[in-house]
């Protein structure tokens, strides 16, 4: 009898599986200024961490103990301690301004000593100073080669800032010259010792954007190539960067010295996730679908994001489970869900409620 119970326990443990028990899934919830900590085993949000205004992109550091969350509405980056599941620090990505765009003095910034704050969210929060959304609108984020610094791109003025994580401050910033009407630095990625920035025109637009390569050390421009009107995300891929052209149904692979190579997915590609074996998963926002693309052959298979007859709309980003067998996908409609997608069976197998209008996702160790 005792042996049978032992066997049952062993089977139970092996079924639930160590990979599933060993991690949390963090989701940036733009509508509620929070990051949700989702336990995929329990299938629910176990904690909500208030991080700041409009949290969007997130990156996990090399040691897997810190997550950096871009606060689009608070002109800052929040550092989340993975073990404690708390915000440990925030960093401004651009200086707090003294004046408005019309030249008038922002008196409350002097009265509140705003120049010493590390996030605009300290004052511009629900119930606090208005407007709620302020600043240069940081969006893209990438680690430096040695992971000691962060590069952050901004929508307003095409600013690219470099934050030293040791000193907890911006150590270098440039306003990137526009390329035609493309002036918004929509994303930044690092490929080796080069940075690649997506510059797009003010949206909505039908004019071309630019993929610009910079030297990481000097921030000098190296080369540039046109792309679609609304590049949303760039995934480093070998010597190049794979760009999702959100306004279309294409991805384009930009490799310096070569013509861009195009891949067809379904409408509205946004997030891109490397899933191994030379394949990527494209999250196709407007078509409520994902595409599994083999970048070598160019073959793509498309899967509608549905489970039990229900369609999960507007996928934005995805993260890979530690065992590489599942992708956690943010369904970012006004009804938010974290959809668990089985990469082998090519189908959604679970949907966990999260806030509506969520955006990015990372997997962290427990």
Residue ranges in contact with another protein by CB under 8 A: 29-33, 36, 45, 48, 125-127, 132-133, 137, 202-204, 206, 247-249, 266-268, 285-287, 311, 313-314, 332-337, 353-358
- 3-state SS assignment for residue 331: strand
Q: Say how far apart CA 225 and CA 259 lie, in whole Å.
A: 9
- From residue 332, give the alpha-carbon distance in Å to each of 77, 132, 169, 249: 21, 21, 32, 19
Least separation in angstroms between residue 313's CB and another protein is: 5
Q: Say how far apart CA 281 and CA 327 lie, in whole Å.
A: 9
Residue 139 vs 280, nearer CB to another protein? 139
Least separation in angstroms between residue 294's CB and another protein is: 21
Residue 260 vs 336, nearer CB to another protein? 336
Residue 221 vs 333, nearer CB to another protein? 333
Those residues whose C-beta lies under 8 Å from the C-beta of residue 360, and which sit 6 or more positions away, are 27, 28, 56, 57, 58, 271, 316, 317, 330
Least separation in angstroms between residue 323's CB and another protein is: 26
Residue 68 vs 285, nearer CB to another protein? 285
Least separation in angstroms between residue 273's CB and another protein is: 21
Name the token pair of 270: 């946004």
132 exposed, middle or buried (CB, 10 Å; 0-12, 13-18, 19+)? middle
In the block, which residue shows the tokens 């610009």? 212
Residue 216 vs 247, nearer CB to another protein? 247
User: Is 302:265 a contact under the CB 8 Å cutoff?
Assistant: yes
Name the token pair of 149: 């610094």
Name the token pair of 220: 């000098």
Least separation in angstroms between residue 240's CB and another protein is: 24
Name the token pair of 169: 């401050």
- 3-state SS assignment for residue 309: coil
Least separation in angstroms between residue 288's CB and another protein is: 9
Residue 227 vs 266, nearer CB to another protein? 266
Least separation in angstroms between residue 311's CB and another protein is: 7
Residue 31 vs 226, nearer CB to another protein? 31
Residue 268 vs 271, nearer CB to another protein? 268
Least separation in angstroms between residue 285's CB and another protein is: 8
Name the token pair of 225: 């190539």
User: Is 80:86 a contact under the CB 8 Å cutoff?
Assistant: yes
Q: Say how far apart CA 99 and CA 5 lie, in whole Å.
A: 71
- Length, in residues, of the chain: 366
Q: Say how far apart CA 231 and CA 253 lie, in whole Å.
A: 12
Least separation in angstroms between residue 218's CB and another protein is: 31
User: Is 273:293 a contact under the CB 8 Å cutoff?
Assistant: no
Least separation in angstroms between residue 338's CB and another protein is: 10
DSSP at 38: E
Residue 335 vs 342, nearer CB to another protein? 335
* HSE of 85, CA atoms in CB hemisphere, 13 A: 20
Residue 28 vs 45, nearer CB to another protein? 45
Q: Calculate ∠ Cα 153-154-157, nearest 5°.
A: 125
């Amino acid at each position: 009898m005792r042996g049978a119970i032992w066997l049952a326990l062993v089977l139970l443990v092996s079924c639930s599986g160590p990979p599933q028990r060993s991690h949390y899934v963090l989701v940036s919830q733009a509508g509620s200024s929070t990051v949700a900590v989702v336990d995929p085993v329990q299938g629910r949000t176990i904690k909500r961490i208030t991080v700041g205004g409009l949290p969007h992109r997130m990156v996990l550091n090399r040691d897997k103990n810190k997550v950096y969350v871009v606060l689009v509405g608070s002109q800052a980056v929040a550092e989340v301690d993975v073990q404690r599941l708390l915000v440990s620090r925030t960093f401004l990505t651009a200086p707090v301004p003294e004046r408005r765009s019309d030249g008038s003095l922002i008196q409350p910034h002097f009265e509140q000593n705003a120049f010493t704050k590390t996030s605009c969210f300290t004052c511009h929060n629900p119930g606090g100073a208005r407007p709620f959304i302020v600043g240069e609108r940081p969006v893209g984020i990438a680690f430096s080669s040695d992971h000691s610094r962060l590069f952050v791109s901004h929508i307003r003025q095409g600013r690219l800032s470099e934050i030293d994580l040791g000193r907890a401050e911006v150590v270098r910033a440039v306003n990137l010259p526009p390329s035609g009407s493309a002036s918004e630095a929509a994303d930044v990625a690092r490929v080796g010792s080069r940075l690649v920035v997506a510059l797009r025109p003010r949206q909505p637009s039908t004019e071309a954007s630019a993929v610009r390569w910079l030297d990481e050390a000097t921030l000098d421009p190296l080369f540039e190539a046109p792309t679609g009107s609304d590049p949303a995300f760039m995934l480093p891929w070998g010597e190049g960067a794979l760009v999702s052209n959100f306004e279309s149904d294409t991805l384009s692979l930009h490799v310096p010295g070569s013509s861009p190579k195009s891949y067809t997915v379904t409408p509205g590609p946004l997030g891109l996730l490397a899933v191994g074996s030379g394949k990527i998963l494209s999250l196709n926002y407007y078509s409520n679908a994902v595409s599994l693309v083999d970048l070598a052959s160019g073959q793509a298979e498309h899967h509608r994001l549905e489970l039990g007859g229900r369609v999960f709309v507007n996928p934005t980003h995805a993260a890979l489970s530690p065992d590489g067998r599942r992708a956690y996908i943010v369904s970012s409609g006004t009804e938010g869900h974290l959809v668990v997608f089985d990469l082998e069976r090519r189908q959604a197998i679970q949907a966990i409620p999260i806030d509506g209008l969520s955006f990015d996702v990372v997997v962290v160790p427990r």
